[in-house]
Amino acid sequence: MNRFQIIVTIASIFAAIAALGFFALSGNNSGGGGVSATSLKIWGTESTTALRPLFEKYERLTKTSIEYKELNSSTFNSEIIEALASSDGPDAVITDIDWIRENKNKLASPVTQANMIAVFKDTYVDFVGSSLVLKKIDKTKEKPEEYIISYPLWIDPIVLYWNKDIFNAEPIALPPNDWDEFIKISNKLRRTDAGGFIERAGAALGRAKNIPLHKKILSLLTLQRGANQQTSLFNSNETKKHLESSLRFYTDFVNPDRYYTWNASLPEPRDYFAAGKLGMMLDYMSASESISKKNSHLSFGVVRAPQPSASEIPIHTANIIGISVFKVSKKAPAAFVFATWLSGIDAGRDLAVSQNVAPARRDLLRDKLIVAKPFFQIIKEESLNARYLQDTYPSASAEIIFDMIENVADGQQTITEAINEAVRKMDRFEAANKQ
């Protein structure tokens, strides 16, 4: 047995014990099936192309067939709900942090023991622990019980893309380090015709309807202004203060009297950037490959997301892609074995090397193959300093934030009015959905 197989075997034993322990402690005996399984059904929003080599490797090692179904993120939730209702759902899912947290009640946790939770937190970067380890309040116990809702596979930081040809033409030598520089450069890069129509945008900020990552960007700005990551955007007066400042800054980029460079008639940033008509945009690190495919002649760079000018500690945000096991799966113990292996060192290295993403594990930030990647210093800083505002109902908050931004951008509400309405909407939603 080679070293790789030994690691898989040890990981499998560990996960099997943990998984079986979970079902014994929870009294859930519907799992059946045992630890071994001839096949596992996995659904996800992530690329089959990126994951298939690892599935095949696991199949060779364990003789377990992995049946993966890639779904569109826009229909993912409805298809999952329908499949679970008909008892024809997957054993596990591979998807993003928002879906995982919103559907935590459908997901099984392999362990709740404090010592194993501590190992989990030490293994992965802080961003993972603060996002995927949740607390369950039990009135019979002195302290809330912590539990894991997903095994992290990788981290996808939000970074700043800049068009080198546009910068060179101005001429501007370097992209901005902070938001003050960002404003100045955006203003200089912007081009409008005699009628005020934007022919070239300096940056993509200010709207919600044609900026898919508006929620993430607004969260980043709010965190950088001092919001506590243990709170949501709406649930404290202190956070509301930071949100007000962030919303004003964000929507100033569609305000003709401020930093006007964006409007509702423009295409989405990724398409506009690939067309060579956008100077800067905030997007996921993983987007670089798709941008290159859209325009192989585009000369662009990637740097860390801008920071406040007086900031001493960098603050970033990112997405986490994880693998989670369903409570109703009849093969849950075997699914946990697979999840443990997929989130391990060797699989994590393969995923980080093959894609432009950051490993979730701390030890892989010292791996020679990962350190050699062109953007390593960026993904290292961003993954180690990433934060996530608590979001119990991501879908509901996404709709509320969308309306809040659009109402301010269209001049239908003031900043204060829009935030107060958003808080009221969130309060009503939470009251109606208390668990």
pLDDT in tens, 7-28: 444 444 444 444 433 333 333 3
In angstroms, how far is the first alpha carbon of the chain from the final one?
A: 48
SS3 133: strand
Identify whether 90 is preceded by a cis peptide bond (ω within 30 of 0).
no
Contact 113, 145 (CB under 8 A): no
Residues of the chain with pLDDT under 50: 1-34
Distance CA 126, CA 13 (A): 26
E strand residue ranges, 251-409: 278-284, 300-304, 318-325, 358-359
User: Read out DSSP for 48-75?
Assistant: HHHHHHHHHHHHHHH--EEEEEE--HHH
Cα–Cα nearest to 409, from 251, 191, 184? 251
Distance CA 353, CA 62 (A): 24
Distance CA 49, CA 41 (A): 17
Helices (H) and strands (E) in the chain, counts: 18, 12
Distance CA 209, CA 268 (A): 9
What phi and psi, each to the nearest 5 degrees, are found at residue 43? -115, 155
The count of C-alpha atoms lying within 13 angstroms of the C-alpha of 374, restricted to the half-sphere facing its C-beta, is: 8
Sequence-ordered list of residues with C-beta below 8 angstroms from that of 75, at least 6 positions apart, any chain: none
User: Read out DSSP for 70-112?
Assistant: E--HHHHHHHHHHHHHTT---SEEEEEHHHHHHTGGGB--S--
Confidence (pLDDT) at 389: 87
User: Read out DSSP for 147-205?
Assistant: EE--EEEEEEEEEEEEEHHHHHHTT--S--SBHHHHHHHHHHH-EE-TT--EEEEEE--
Confidence (pLDDT) at 119: 93
SS3 37: coil
Distance CA 347, CA 50 (A): 12
Q: Kindly report the three-state secondary structure assignment for every residue of 378-432.
A: HHHHHHHCECCCCCCCHHHHHHHHHHHHHHHHCCCCCHHHHHHHHHHHHHHHHHH
Confidence (pLDDT) at 114: 81
User: 43: part of which helix (H) or strand (E)?
Assistant: strand 39-44
Confidence (pLDDT) at 310: 84
